[in-house]
Structure 1
Amino acid sequence: MHIFDVPGVCRYALGMSSGQIPDEDISASSQWSESTAARYGRLDGEEGDGAWCPITVEPDHLKEFLQIDLRSLHFITLVGTQGRHAGGMGNEFAQMYKIKYSRDGSRWISWRNRQGKQVIEGNRNTYDIALRDMQPPIIARLVRFMPVIDHSMNVCMRVELYGCEWLDGLVSYNAPAGQQMNLPAYPVYLNDSVYDGAGLGQLTDGVCGEDDFTLSHVHNGWPGYDYVGWNNDSFPGGSIEIMFEFDRIRNFTSMKVHCNNMFSRHVKAFQQVVCHFRSDSDWETTPLAFSPVEDEKNPSARFITVKLANHMASAIKCQFYFADAWMLFSEITFQSGTQCGADLVLEGSYDPTHKVDDSNTRILIGCLVAIIFILVAIIVIILWRQVWQKMLEKASRRILDDELTASLSIQSETFSYNHTSNRPGTAGEQESNSTYERIFPLGPDYQEPSRLICKLPEFAQSSEEPASKSTTQTVVQDGAPHYAEADIVNLQGVTGGNTYAIPAVTMDLLSGKDVVVEEFPRKLLTFKEKLGEGQFGEVHLCEAEGMQEFINEDYLFDVPEGQPVLVAVKMLRIKIMSRLKDPNIIRLLAVCIYSDPLCMITEYMENGDLNQFLSRHEPEGQLALLSSAPTVRSANLCYMATQIASGMKYLSSLNFVHRDLATRNCLVGKNYTIKIADFGMSRNLYSGDYYRIQGRAVLPIRWMSWESILLGKFTTASDVWAYAVTLWEILNFCKEQPYSQLTDEQVIENTGEFFRDQKRQIYLPQPVLCPDSLYKIMLNCWRRNAKERPSFQELHRALLDLQP
């Protein structure tokens, strides 16, 4: 069966790093010593002397190689290489290399990219992993990495292959050479440009062509690059023949052919296909014919599925008949039938009148019965969970209505930001069918990320009642409140008005003596810039006059007397915010509640957020001198990271979960002072950092732990994961988004690898400026088991020890 349609989803580590590929399947042309043998050439491995090292590599004379036997055909889309690090003692790596591959071990093929280049750029140091896309992908069982040098140097390599098993079974095809179409403006080349000479090429590269065949998915691809095409005038019989050879006899159910149908250019899908089947040495006498419905209304390219009626064959020969002057294909795949997951293979030649024996029938019936039982069990579990969930929600509402009503210390009631009170479509209770929710029953520290259950004031009372008299009630599914405004913001400009996570309150913080926050005269606020908008109000940058009179004695502004102060004006849970007092947490200064719009006033740091601050700077070195950019020393980076750990240590001590820790949510003051904030999510500048799940939940998935994405579980341990990603951002000077080489869907797929725990997950690579000791801390923060991750107290202590 063909298990993929897009090469982007077929990017699993195939087992060098994890050890799934055994030592006996890794060989080499030579080795410097026993401690640098082929078996030590595993990516991220440090066994032996830390890598595979050949005896000698000579310029312009490729004879050294590291060979991997995958034991079966695989579709390889990505490769990774490293040099020899050996705990800082190694200094050997391959700056360039080539790849050769084979499907049977007898014929070796030199890989070339889509522009015909063989040499692949390798590593620039001994520790970073260099990932390189295989464009086009490789279909092979055996792969060789061959280091290339242009001057005398020692070379060592550690490698990994990424892809998935090639289940089509197709080992070669033979088709007429593609032709050239001469359009009035330019020629269109429809040849099989990536055909490897051993039987596979563009029709199996996983890339489907555009509706307009003159365009190309491929960078620098010429017109027609994605298609192989033929002209009717060149084939007197009105058809072209393609022969497909497979690895063994298979039970074929269908063939999918991706065809162009741009009839305005005299291109149409095939009129008819006639297929002949060969099981052993003889061809069947009765071919199979199929005619698709001709379409002269829709010019879109499309897959045409040809039913192959469970023919048993090791080779298929198909004649495709022209429906117009041209016929263009970009991809052909085959699907073969299975028995409980294993390919059905019968001995000898296939007789269409022969019935499958009783043992096979019994196996098939048994599998069907087992599947039916499993489906029934799943339906029962789903129905039971829905009933249980509704009971839990009703119970939670009763508890919250009685016990968890948050109140302001001044009015004993929570206020809401009425700036959005008449916004349509914000129902009090919203539900989602997110793929990533409801995977497991909710425990005390699980939440559903795409669900917001909140009785908003503007819907809980009549229009005649003043907004200042309203009360906000929230459902709490875990015991940990969270600090980030990301849980209640409306992502205007990001995802069009959707909410993220569930607001919560802390009983410990709401008990005891109230903290009085003074009313601030609105006339002393000068609005400068809108920073963002949340569901409960807008966030503005303002100048505040006379703010010194509203500050407690334990807090001082570094601003001359009488000068206006930059502050952030926004709406949040004021009572909780008023109790947060830490040098590395944004401070609530005052509130405006006696007239609309209701506001709260917090600090705003003069250098803006950490992401923008670092992206404008460079590390000290030659590059900074050439660009004349301002620099930040490594010691200052460590100092900022230590402050973030300190602030998070404080929040975690109060059982707060931030949920959106990232450089965009850290503000920078004088002398690299850092304070953790929470309104980065509501800024259009960072819309690309958030991913929408089925139209509702928006999640910063590149910073989130696997359990937060898949299970909706948000804890201090998930904040620890996000802290390590934030640290990775800092050490890269925020020049790159985490997992920038992966799409959002691939990031989610990678979290699935953490869940399955088969050692196929991809970690963020070690930044150039990151010492090994610090990267080890980051890897500990990304442990699969949340209980094995360090606490913020431990992180803060470790970072203090690393400071010079």
Structure 2
Amino acid sequence: MKRETKTPSLSLLLLAGSQRLFCVCRSPLGMSRGQILDEDISASSQWSDSTAAKYGRLDCEEGDGAWCPEIAGEPENMNEFLQIDLRSLHFITLVGTQGRHAGGIGNEFAQTYKIKYSRDGSRWISWRNRQGKEVIEGNRNAYDIVLKDMEPPIIARFVRFMPVIDHSMNVCMRVELYGCEWLDGLVSYNSPLGQQMTLNGQHVHLNDSVYDGAMKGLGQLTDGMCGLDDFTHSHVYNVWPGYDYVGWSNESFPNGYVEIMFEFDRTRNFTTMKVHCNNMFSRRVKTFQKVVCYFRSELDWEATPISFSPVMDDVNPSARFVTVSLYNHMASAIKCQYYFSDIWMMFSEITFQSGDDPTHKVDDSNTRILIGCLVAIIFILVAIIVIILWRQVWQKMLEKVSRRMLDDELTASLSIQSETFTYNNNNSPSSVPSEQESNSTYERIFPLGPDYQEPSRLVRKLPEFSQTSEDTGEFQKRCMGYIWVFHTYYAIAYIHVYFSAASTNTASKSTPASVQEGVPHYAEADIVNLQGVTGGNTYAVSALTMDLLSGKDVAVEEFPRKLLTFKEKLGEGQFGEVHLCEAEGMQDFMDEEFSFDVIENQTVLVAVKMLRADANKNARNDFLKEIKIMSRLKDPNIIRLLAVCMSSDPLCMITEYMENGDLNQFLSRHEPEGMIALLSNAPTVSYSNLHHMATQIASGMKYLSSLNFVHRDLATRNCLVGKNYTIKIADFGMSRNLYSGDYYRIQGRAVLPIRWMSWESILLGKFTTSSDVWAFGVTLWEMLTFCKEQPYSQLSDEQVIENTGEFFRDQRRQIYLPQPPMCPDPVYKLMLSCWNRNTKERPSFQEIHHTLLDYSLNVNKNH
């Protein structure tokens, strides 16, 4: 699967000074896409010139397909490595590895490996995870990409991948690093050793457990993890109480303060320091009473320090960031003395923000003048645009719109509001405003802050694209054509605002849809979104449908946990995990209609969604609702809920899993029938089988749409493949590290499959059956390219978002996915209809299914 290199997101640029606090620092650093140059990749040895270090790029097949070290001597003497020079310090959160596939010729890979890193090229540090383990699980075959989170992340310029070699097989590697540039410039800090607290007979260890130096190094104060309000608990599992914090008792510091010295890569212009402190005053822990900071610009320390005293809080025990102004001091090192305000003081994170110019102080007055001039120019341009538009179309529009208002006919809605749908006498749907305008989630600015009020207001002015008069529609298009100059810069901010807010709501309901003769009709804005166990949304369900389901008991049997055997972790997220397991005696829990084709007493492969025992109440309620929804889905092409484990924590739901895995990996391991496959001796899939699988996906989606269910993440990664090319639609692709590159991450909260999303889903946050139809078109495109590359692989994530703006403006400049080489014209025509700008002109899944069946019959007749 080809992974697209991502340019830094807007949030990353805006939050660069505190980048470790958000999970946006996961972009490929350039091995697979070539930004890292050949001369920056070196190795200890190589098989031959064709397996040199420069060929160790993830997902590339140049040379003989990978870097392969020359293996000689005994394993204990092995010190082979592939080294990458990033030219500057980077914050590395994720690594990816692959073996040597070489189009099916190679079968060499590293089953385990280690990582060493260095900030200066002289001192090398062995990476260990938070439990102290040094060896990393690698690949199990030569073609799959295995992604591993760096927990803790590393800050380094040089990184070495060191395969663990046991001589049972040859090893080769292709690698990628994921992260972002380290903008703080902090290269080391030196602090007193953390201490141990005894609390109710329990030892709370407050040491810096991931510190990577002796006197100089980096550790938990720079690992990107902020501690919880209760310091005895941790984000990390299987660690000791107090793990997230470094803490000290005032009894060990007669001067009344703790001194920490920070050293940076060069002289910088410092504006602020942010210190994340615990404030659990009931346990005699408080934020610091005062901090005194000294600055060193060259060799000498400045005589005059700065001092800051935060406001003490004895009411709110929440942990918090304390921001200290550093008043644009120039320094290459800072020494700060933090004074106790109670017995204990605990820090989990310290970040520094510096100005753009490392050698000159910022002239604030000039900056304010420049900003004021730019704002004035923007307002002048907006005023000119408004005057031009008013003179051209206002008079004509006013006459026609007023006439329609008198007749109570269609009106243009320029605010985002809920709509309900009724049926007219001809049983055709028509749109009328709801009685009460819903509170748009675009108005919720947290956590971006007040700077984003302007794009929020602009989004609310986007039209609903209901049936409007021709002149009003033209006026809207021309207006938005001008506004798009500003919209381009704010498009990503819209998504951050909307989905950050949406992810904090486990359910949102608007006015129920109107019904005729008891039949529910799906309203676009009238959906309930459930937070899945892995942190992503499951199916979106109409509120009316959810109300009907909520009154029914769930008829799902309890399954004995002891009959489940763990095989592999498929994925994980904020609230739980998805495991691949073997289940004994599962046949007793299946009815005849959906029974598996298995021999009696044979184990069955199942997927187990497990809710973590410490999940909050909202997550548990959503888990139960998800079980209720899944229990109602009974279709041959939808993954079915088989049983549950509810008698004790962790709560589990057991679903079908198919022996051939997901469709993306299945197709990427195959080739289309033809000469290339014949020469490479690769396994093949015929076009008729592809068509058969696509028809099944359409059938499954037809069933979901008939229940007013919106999938919201339809893609090949969420389709499972069984015997005889059987397809079943699932929903846990989002949780798999393997597909992290397919999702655009929003500040660690929401992940969006933007390359599969319709323009109205990205810009307006509207998810409907029509947006699922758009995703089906992309899924069909994936299948006919055998999943060899991502959709829009030539575009960055930000360019994909900008392309949705072209669909919005509809000036024929939008980019469509190209016709795959083996795709017949009628099928590509079907794809294009799925990507129609007007949602009402896209085909329904019933029409798509019918079209695919008809085309299949015609092809069979001709053959």
Per the shorter chain, which TM-score range?
0.5 to 0.7
The match for 2:76 is: 60
8 Å CA contact 2:46, 2:69 repeated in 1: yes
Larger Cα-atom Rg = 1
CA distance 1:94–1:541, change in 2 (3 Å): same
Indicate if the aligned counterparts of 2:291 and 2:338 stay in contact, CA closer than 8 A.
yes
Match of residue 266, structure 1, among 284, 294, 301? 284
Aligned match for 2:270, one of 243, 247, 252 = 252
1:217 is displaced (CA, Å) by 1.0
Structure-2 residue corresponding to 1:76: 92
Map 1:91-490; keep pairs closer than 5 Å.
91-197=107-213, 198-338=216-356, 343-346=357-360, 364=367, 367-368=370-371, 371-373=374-376, 376=379, 401=409, 411-414=425-428, 427=436, 433=442, 437=459, 488=524, 490=526
Q: CA deviation at 1:705?
A: 2.7
Question: 1:612 aligned to 629, 633, 640, which one?
Answer: 640
CA deviation after TM superposition for structure 1 residue 50, in Å: 1.2
1:788 to 818, 834, 844: 818
Shift of 1:537: 9.9
**Cα distance, 1:364 vs. partner?**
4.5
Question: How many Å apart are 1:291 and its aligned residue?
Answer: 1.1
Q: 2:756 aligns with which of 704, 707, 711?
A: 704
Please list, as runs of the form range in 1=range in 2, the aligned pairs for 1:752-791 lying within 5 A after superposition.
752=798, 754-755=800-801, 785-788=815-818, 790=820
Quick one: distance in 1 between partners of 2:720 and 2:116?
Answer: 50
State the Cα distance separating 1:533 from its structure 2 match. Answer: 5.3
Secondary structure of 1:4's match?
Answer: helix
Query: For the structure 1 residues 88 and 607, does the alpha-carbon distance in structure 2 shift closer, same or farther, using more than 3 Å as the test?
Result: same
Q: Tell me the distance in 2 between the aligned counterparts of 1:699 and 1:178.
A: 36
1:14 counterpart residue number: 29
Displacement after TM superposition at 1:87 (Å): 1.3
**Letter matched to residue 28 of structure 1:** A
* Superimposed CA distance per residue, residues 297-333 of structure 1 (whole angstroms, 9 cap, x where no aligned partner): 2111111111111111101111111111111111111
Letter paired with 1:37: A
Residue 735 of structure 1 is matched in structure 2 by none
Do the aligned partners of residues 345 and 136 (structure 1) sit closer, same or farther apart at CA in structure 2, a change above 3 Å counting? same
Question: Deviation at 1:700?
Answer: 8.3
Q: Secondary structure at the match of 2:251?
A: helix
Which whole-Å deviations, capped at 9, do the CAs of 1:77-124 have from their partners, x for residues lacking one? 111111111112220111111111111111111111111111111111
8 Å CA contact retained: 1:488, 1:536: no
394 and 788 in structure 1: CA distance in 2 versus 1, 3 angstrom threshold: farther
Contact 1:102–1:140 under 8 Å retained in 2: yes
* AA of the residue aligned to 2:358: L
1:427 maps to a residue whose letter is Q
For the residue of structure 2 that corresponds to 1:329, the secondary structure is strand
Alpha-carbon distance change, 100 to 675 in structure 1, aligned in 2, over 3 angstroms = closer
Instruction: Indicate conservation of the 8 Å contact 2:29/2:177, yes or no.
Output: yes
Counterpart CA distance in 2 for 1:12 and 1:218 is 23
TM-score of the superposed pair, with normalisation by structure 2: 0.57
Q: How far, CA to CA, are the matches of 2:25 and 2:44 in structure 1? A: 29
Cα deviation code 1:472-501 (max 9, x no counterpart)? 9xxxxxxxxxxx976637324749xxxxxx
Cα displacement string for residues 552-606 of structure 1 (whole angstroms, at most 9, x for unaligned residues)? xxxxxxxxxxxxxx9xxxxxxxxxxxxxxxxxxxxxxxxxxxxxxxxxxxxx996
8 Å contact kept, 1:649–1:793: no
Distance in 2 separating the partners of 1:456 and 1:268: 47
Number of residue pairs aligned between Structure 1 and Structure 2: 587
Residue 720, structure 1, aligned to residue 777, structure 2: yes
CA distance in 1, matches of 2:102, 2:271: 51
SS at match of 2:778: helix
Deviations along 1:721-779, one digit per CA (max 9) or x if unpaired, are 24468999x99xxxxxxx9xxxxxxxxx994474479xxxxxxxxxxxxxxxxxxxxxx
Tell me: CA distance 1:617–1:220, structure 2 relative to 1, closer, same or farther (3 Å): closer
Written as runs of structure 1 = structure 2, the 5 A alignment for 1:646-657 is none
- Are residues 609 and 377 of structure 1, via their aligned partners in 2, closer, same or farther at CA, if it must alter by over 3 Å? farther
Summarize the Cα distance change of 1:107–1:397 in structure 2 as closer, same or farther, 3 Å threshold. Answer: farther
Kept after mapping to 2: 8 A contact 1:416/1:536: no
Distance 1:381 1:25, change over 3 A: farther
Structure 2 counterpart of 1:21, which letter?
I
Contact 1:171 1:245 in 2 (8 A): yes
Residues 694 and 780 of structure 2 are in contact (CA less than 8 Å); yes or no, is this contact kept in structure 1?
no
Cα separation, 1, equivalents of 2:698 and 2:513: 38
In structure 2, the residue matched to 1:50 is 65
Deviation (angstroms), 1:290: 1.1
- Superposed, 1:627-776 pairs within 5 Å as 640-644=692-696, 662=714, 704-705=756-757, 707-711=759-763, 718-723=775-780, 751-752=797-798, 754-755=800-801
- Give how far 1:433 is off: 3.1
Tell me: CA distance 1:131–1:320, structure 2 relative to 1, closer, same or farther (3 Å): same
Shift in Å at residue 179 of structure 1? Answer: 0.5
* Distance in structure 2 (CA, Å) of the matches to 1:199 and 1:751: 35
Q: Please name the residue that 1:499 is paired with.
A: none
Q: Note if contact 1:73-1:103 (Cα within 8 Å) is conserved in structure 2.
A: yes
The whole-number CA distance in structure 1 between the counterparts of 2:245 and 2:88 is 28
| Separation (CA, whole Å) in 1 of partners of 2:513 and 2:316 | 48
Q: Distance in 1 between matches of 2:856 and 2:48?
A: 38
Q: Is the 8 A contact 2:93 2:178 kept in 1?
A: yes
How far apart in 2 are the matches of 1:456 and 1:241? 58
State the partner residue of 1:25: 40
TM-score (norm 1): 0.60
Aligned partner of 2:841 in structure 1 is none
Q: Work out whether residues 715 and 756 of structure 2, in 8 Å CA contact, stay in contact via their aligned partners in 1.
A: no
Contact 1:643 1:674 in 2 (8 A): no
Q: Is the Cα–Cα contact under 8 Å of residues 7 and 77 in structure 1 kept in the other structure?
A: no
Q: Which amino acid aligns with 1:345?
A: T
Question: Is the Cα–Cα contact under 8 Å of residues 96 and 148 in structure 2 kept in the other structure?
Answer: yes
C-alpha displacement at 1:269, in angstroms?
A: 1.0
Determine helix, strand or coil for the equivalent of 2:108. Answer: coil
Q: Write the distance in 1 (CA, Å) between the matches of 2:120 and 2:369.
A: 36
Within 5 Å, which residues of 2 pair with 1:485-496?
Answer: 488=524, 490-492=526-528, 494=530
Please report how far the alpha carbon of residue 376 of structure 1 lies from its aligned counterpart in structure 2 after TM superposition.
3.2
How far apart are 1:240 and its partner, in Å?
A: 1.2
What is the match of residue 587 of structure 1? none
Displacement of 1:407 after TM fit? 10
Change (3 A) 1:667 1:364: closer
Which residue in the other structure is 1:596 paired with?
none
CA contact (8 A) 2:93 2:153 kept: yes
Q: Is the 8 A contact 2:690 2:784 kept in 1?
A: no
**CA deviation string 1:640-667 (max 9, x = no partner):** 523147779999xxxxxx9968499999
Q: Residue 588 of structure 2 corresponds to which residue in structure 1?
A: none
Percent of pairs with identical residues: 51
